[in-house]
């Protein structure tokens, strides 16, 4: 448990460093992409390193919903390897380049209607990514930048319960005899 608590503190410190104008040596030029920040990446993954803070931000750019296609997985692993090989980085923040969408998950079209060799290659790439993330010496933070579908459903249920209670109160008021007992009403 102590190890987990230590990781949480370290992760929070990394996340604070990612926010604009935060501590840990992050300068305004680094925030705005100025001098000293050399971005790298590919068509589907953009990496914005900040060596002064010791973190990098990996942004997913695989329209429309950042699904994990074979090309995306390959580019992701290559970018992560580059960061792991550079000893100036302590952590990486995974986020989306598109507002409102983090990732739809595995691209099922990669498995459907393809030959077995392609399916095997795709599944190998998926496993390589998960192992790379799990065994990484970097602190990995997922900054999910979309609204939770589950939370929306919970709110909808809460509103439905509230409306039901209100209707029940209204029906009870309509049926109630008022402030006087029935035998006194005459």
Closest by alpha carbon to 56, among 65, 64, 47? Answer: 47
pLDDT in tens, 71-128: 999 999 999 999 999 889 999 999 998 887 888 888 888 888 899 999 999 999 999 9
Same domain, 128 and 89: yes
CA distance 169 to 35: 64
Mean pLDDT over all residues of the chain? 77
Same domain, 83 and 165: no
Same domain, 125 and 158: no
| Residue of 1 and 5 predicted with greater confidence | 5
Pair of tokens at residue 99:
């507002």
Mean pLDDT of 167-184: 70
* The pLDDT value given to residue 157: 86
Same domain, 14 and 64: yes
Cα–Cα distances (Å) from 115 to 8, 25, 120, 139, 147, in that order, read 43, 50, 9, 37, 36
Structural domain of 31: 2-146
Same domain, 27 and 107: yes
Same domain, 110 and 186: no
pLDDT in tens, 51-73: 888 999 999 998 888 889 999 99
pLDDT in tens, 2-44: 333 344 444 444 444 444 444 333 333 344 444 455 677 778 8
Give how far the C-alpha of residue 38 lies from the chain's centroid of Cα atoms, to the nearest Å: 24
Closest by alpha carbon to 105, among 96, 117, 116, 113? Answer: 96
* The pLDDT value given to residue 155: 80
* The pLDDT value given to residue 1: 30
Residue 144 DSSP code: -
Same domain, 125 and 168: no
Residue 110 DSSP code: G
Same domain, 17 and 106: yes
Cα–Cα distances (Å) from 116 to 49, 120, 126, 129, in that order, read 38, 6, 15, 20
Same domain, 20 and 98: yes
* The pLDDT value given to residue 11: 44
Same domain, 6 and 85: yes
Sequence-distant contacts of 121-126: CB under 8 A, at least 24 apart: 121/70, 122/70, 122/73, 125/70, 125/73, 125/74, 125/77, 126/68, 126/73
Q: How many domains does the chain have?
A: 2
What's the CATH code of the domain at 81?
A: 3.90.226.10
């Amino acid at each position: 448990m102590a190890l987990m608590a230590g990781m949480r503190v370290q992760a929070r410190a990394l996340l604070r460093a990612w926010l604009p104008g935060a501590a840990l040596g992050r300068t305004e030029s680094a925030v705005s992409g100025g001098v000293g920040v050399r971005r790298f990446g590919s068509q589907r993954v953009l990496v914005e390193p900040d060596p002064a803070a010791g973190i990098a931000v990996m942004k997913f750019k695989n329209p429309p919903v950042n699904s994990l296609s074979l090309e995306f997985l390959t580019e992701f692993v290559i970018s992560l390897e580059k960061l792991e090989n550079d000893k100036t980085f302590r952590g990486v923040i995974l986020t989306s380049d598109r507002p409102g969408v983090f990732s739809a998950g595995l691209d099922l079209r990669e498995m459907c209607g393809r030959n077995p060799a392609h399916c095997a290659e795709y599944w190998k790439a998926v496993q390589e990514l998960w192992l790379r993330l799990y065994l990484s010496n970097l602190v990995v933070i997922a900054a999910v930048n979309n609204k939770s579908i589950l939370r929306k459903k919970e709110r909808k249920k809460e509103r439905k319960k509230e409306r039901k209670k209100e209707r029940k109160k209204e029906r009870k008021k309509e049926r109630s005899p008022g402030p006087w007992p029935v035998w006194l009403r005459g």
